[in-house]
Amino acid sequence: MAAIFAQGLAKHFTPEIKAVDGIDLAIEPGQIFGFLGANGSGKTTTVRMLTTLLRPTAGRAEVSGLDVENHAGQVRASIGVALQEAGLDDIQTGRELLTLSARLYRVPSSQMKARVDELLRIVDLEESADRALKTYSGGMQRRLDLAAALVHRPTVVFLDEPTTGLDPISRDAIWRYVGELNRTEGVTFFLTTQYLEEADRLADEVAIMAAGKIVAQGSPAELKASIGTDVVSLRIGSDEDLTRASDAVRRFEGIEDVRVVDDAVICYVRDGSSAIAALVLLLDGANIRPREVTLSQPTLDDVFLRKTGHHMEADAAADAKVRKSS
């Protein structure tokens, strides 16, 4: 039985706003599943449907074999959730918040203290446990959110953008705790992120969302291999040269796909190292000298780029800036 299952799952807020537009999921127990997508692609709406907070307009979903509409109460009792807008109460301490969360989830009082202490230790908050939450950094708050979602030993945990806006070290820390809880308690994690690169390193399976649809799904290695090419990136000086350059490289017989992103022409080719010379020669024939030529293996961003025609990372960076300054 899948830990999380969805078939044709959809949420149309209006006929125009198809936030989630028919997605299928089958996530095995014990996996760390990365649900990737830019702002507005439908990640939170999906999480809200899977966690019974929002009714689907079409399709169905199950968590641990329980239908999210017909068995909403049972689903809620068996899952842990940390949503994006967590709204922590400032004057509470970390320990108080976890204890409150344990009460809400009806953790037996005989087990409460031990479970709270254990989670504080796992997310490295023992020393700050009795400080007010307003003194916590963003990373500490997210770690506490994570702990709070786990007090009642749920089998499936949903984390909505647990790392957005955090610095890279704090982001890695969150993934490390997720990994530890996954190993030690067998928890299945469904976590959303805008950072393709961290999901690439840390998730077992990922799905990439764009405009309410899943455009790619599988293990990061499978997805990257599915592209089946190397990536040659040619940075070009001026805008009009950019168009001419992308026309020129299309004449290369080994070319699989070409994308223009910012000031670069991205070429997907079978054998990158032998293609470089031919590509530069074609540019030379059009009187264009690239400012920089790089050869790389595909990343998840390349998967995203090939499926959707644009990069995703810029959004996440912009979002991080907004959060920092607010």
Ligand X SMILES: Nc1ncnc2c1ncn2[C@@H]1O[C@H](COP(=O)(O)OP(=O)(O)O)[C@@H](O)[C@H]1O
- Which of Mg ion, ligand X, none does 45 bind, CB closer than 5 to 8 A by kind? ligand X
Distance in Å, CB of 220 to Mg ion, minimum? 21
Minimum Å gap between C-beta 194 and ligand X is 8
Q: Which is nearer to ligand X, 51 or 101 (CB)?
A: 51
CB under 5 to 8 A by kind: which of Mg ion, ligand X, none does 29 bind? none
Please state the closest distance from residue 60 (CB atom) to ligand X, in A: 19
DSSP string of 49-86, one letter each residue? HHTTSS--SEEEEEETTEETTTTHHHHHHHEEEE-S--
Distance (Å, whole) CA 63 – CA 74: 10
**Nearer of residues 13 and 250 to ligand X, judged by Cβ:** 13
3-state secondary structure of 242: helix
Q: Which residues bind Mg ion (CB under 5 A)?
A: 43-44
Residue number, 24 or 28, with CB nearest to ligand X: 24
Name the CA dihedral angle for 116, 121, 123, 129, rounded to a multiple of 10 degrees.
Answer: 60
Nearer to ligand X, 55 or 183 (CB): 55
> Which residues are at the interface with ligand X (CB under 6 A)?
13, 17, 19, 37, 39-45
Query: Closest CB to ligand X among 41 and 128?
Result: 41
Please, what is the minimum distance in Å from the beta carbon of residue 324 to Mg ion?
A: 18
User: What one-letter code names the amino acid at 267?
Assistant: C
152 binds, among ligand X, Mg ion, none (CB under 5 to 8 A by kind): none
Q: Which of Mg ion, ligand X, none sits in contact with 17, Cβ below 5 to 8 A by type? A: ligand X
Q: Please, what is the minimum distance in Å from the beta carbon of residue 313 to ligand X?
A: 15
- Judged by beta carbon distances under 5 to 8 A according to partner kind, the member of ligand X, Mg ion, none in contact with residue 144 is none
Instruction: Compare residues 13 and 309 and give the one whose CB is closer to ligand X.
Output: 13
The least CB distance from residue 322 to ligand X, in Å, is: 13
Q: How many CA atoms lie less than 13 Å away from 275 in the CB half-sphere?
A: 25
Question: How far lies 134's CA from each of 123, 128, 140, 166, in Å?
Answer: 18, 11, 11, 17
- The answer to whether residues 163 and 193 touch, using CB atoms and an 8 Å cutoff, is yes
Beta-ladder partners of 40: none
Q: Helices 138-148 and 94-104: crossing angle, nearest 10°?
A: 20
Q: How many Å apart are CA 147 and CA 168, to the nearest integer?
A: 20
CA distance 250 to 258: 7
Q: How far is the CB of 130 from ligand X (least distance, A)?
A: 34
Residue 19 binds what, of ligand X, Mg ion, none (CB under 5 to 8 Å, by partner type)? ligand X
* Secondary structure element (H or E) that encloses residue 236, with its range: none
Tell me whether strands 58-63 and 4-12 are parallel, antiparallel or unpaired. antiparallel
Question: Which one of ligand X, Mg ion, none interacts with residue 299, CB within 5 to 8 A by kind?
Answer: none
Specify the residue, 11 or 95, whose C-beta has the smaller distance to ligand X.
11
What is the sign, positive or negative, of the torsion defined by CA atoms of 46, 47, 48, 54? positive
